[in-house]
Amino acid sequence: MIIPVILAGGSGSRLWPLSRKHYPKQLLKLFGETTMLQQTLLRLEGVPDLGDPIVVCNEEHRFMVAEQLHEMGCTNASILLEPVARNTAPALALAVLKAASLEDNPTLLVLAADHMIQDTSAFRNAIQDAVQAAQLNQLVTFGIQPTRPETGYGYIKVRNEAAGNAAEGPEAAQPVECFVEKPDLPTAEQYVAEGSYFWNSGMFVFRAQPFLDELAACSAGVLDAARDALESAAADLDFIRIDREAFARAPDISIDYAVMEKSRAVVCVPLDAGWSDVGSWQSYWELSDKDERGNSFVGDAIDVGSRETLVFSHDKLVATVGVNNLLIINTPDAVLVADKSEAQQVKKVIAEIEKQQRSEHLQHREVYRPWGCYDSVDGGARYEVKRLRVKPGASLSSQMHYHRAEHWVVVKGTAKVELGDKIMLLSENESTYIPVGTRHRLSNPGQIPLELVEVRTGPYLGEDDIQRFDDDYGRV
């Protein structure tokens, strides 16, 4: 059996302002009607002997990950929650240990949740080659056939005598000579010309026990911390909560540094399948459909005479006139305008946002919760207006606020409101008032989404002014 391991803990900061810390790119619908996480699993359809996936994600993203898996009918996934960020080696160690507890020495297919692969047929063929090599106890990494001298990727160098090997099966796996860091442009040009270098994709295939043996030999601290953290884990709804104290002892290290660069069991299967890590808006533009002038317009846009430009906007019209080589990304609370050649510098914007102690790098104006979402429409010194959407059958926690009162107006659907000792049903155009210090709860008993407007008033309106008495989702 092949167990997919999906690493979904990234932040996707270079796709700001669309990707945010609390809603990163792997959870976004960047290409079509499914998210990048969902596409990662969907492209595996047709791979033989495929087991239920193991997904490793941040605690903050757990409800969104679970909902997206359920949307595609994936109800038996193991979702491991990283309590603290410790890079890919500890995260992968958790997943491999979990897989080994489910089956004796299974084969694992390790994928990132935020990559794009255009030729799924070629990708599945490469998986089969990698699986065959893994049966020989080799650790297989996928090397991407370079299409240009790229400075944003690390490279894998295979042995010169193996370069250009086009065989299939285990023979297609080429011994790795070394991993190299992201090069400057002249060095990247040299790598591409030489022909024995591949882009490092960060995707792997191996059997559990050989990997654990190599991890123990190369980075025992990672394995020990991951094993302790998993042994002390607790089940919680759809999730496996990893012990925070034990996991925090793991070194903050990537799987390349921890194992792949040290092990002599690593081989490379070349992959030419239209791969991209969608690591910047420049990469997104390259993957997007374009008009005859090289423009890509996603959402509501009007253009007059522009070239080689990307416009991404869904909530308002963006008009461009005679601009060239620009990235224009519009969201409800932030707009990015950048030259495409400077796409990698977006991280510096986030650094400046953090320096100014702002919040636009953390979350969107629309914030997702396990019960639905809310959109902060307007606000001032002593008031805030939100638009709430509650999923059918879902409930907010039973709660109380010390500093704010709330007024709810139902716009669509039916609301069940528990207010002190009273229970009432509100239909469209009906409303209720929740005084300061009153225990209350909002639920959607209907079959369609509940939409309402919430007006908060008071001296302090922060989300942390909340005392929860009961919660369906285990939140404190």
Instruction: Output the tens digit of pLDDT for each of the chain's 476 residues.
Output: 899 999 998 888 899 999 999 899 999 999 989 999 999 999 999 899 899 999 999 988 999 999 999 999 998 999 999 999 889 999 999 999 999 999 999 999 999 999 999 999 999 999 999 999 999 999 999 999 998 898 888 999 998 654 444 445 556 888 998 998 899 999 999 989 988 999 999 999 999 999 999 999 999 999 999 999 999 999 887 899 999 999 999 999 999 999 999 999 999 999 999 999 998 999 999 999 999 999 999 999 999 999 999 999 988 999 999 999 999 999 999 999 999 999 989 999 999 999 999 989 998 888 889 999 999 999 899 999 999 999 999 999 999 999 999 999 999 999 999 999 999 999 999 999 999 999 999 999 999 999 999 999 999 998 899 999 998 887 76
What are the DSSP E strand ranges found in 181-272? 197-207, 234-236, 239-241, 266-271
Q: Are 51 and 3 in contact (CB under 8 A)?
A: yes
Task: List C-alpha distances in Å: 347 to 17, 315, 353, 364, 455.
Answer: 11, 24, 10, 17, 35
- The helix/strand/coil state of 319 is strand
CATH number at residue 435: 2.60.120.10
Residues 389 and 461 in one domain: yes
Residues 171 and 214 in one domain: yes
Which among 127, 149, 151, 152 is positioned nearest to 140, based on CA atoms? 127
Residues 263 and 297 in one domain: no
d(CA 276, CA 297): 20
Residues 50 and 166 in one domain: yes
Residues 135 and 259 in one domain: yes
In a domain, residue 103? The reply is yes
Residue carrying structure tokens 């005598």: 161
Q: Are 275 and 115 in contact (CB under 8 A)?
A: yes
Give the H or E element holding residue 144: strand 139-144
In a domain, residue 360? The reply is no
Residues 434 and 387 in one domain: yes
In a domain, residue 128? The reply is yes
Residues 111 and 238 in one domain: yes
d(CA 86, CA 194): 35
In a domain, residue 412? The reply is yes
Residues 102 and 19 in one domain: yes
Residues 21 and 107 in one domain: yes
Residue 49 domain boundaries: 2-276
Residues 147 and 189 in one domain: yes
In a domain, residue 219? The reply is yes
In a domain, residue 167? The reply is yes
Query: 232-240: long-range contacts at Cβ-Cβ below 8 A with a sequence spacing of 24 or more?
Result: 233/80, 236/474, 237/66, 237/473, 237/474, 238/62, 238/66, 238/79, 239/62, 239/66, 239/79, 239/80, 239/81, 240/78, 240/79, 240/80, 240/81, 240/98
Question: What's the structural domain count of the chain?
Answer: 3
In a domain, residue 142? The reply is yes
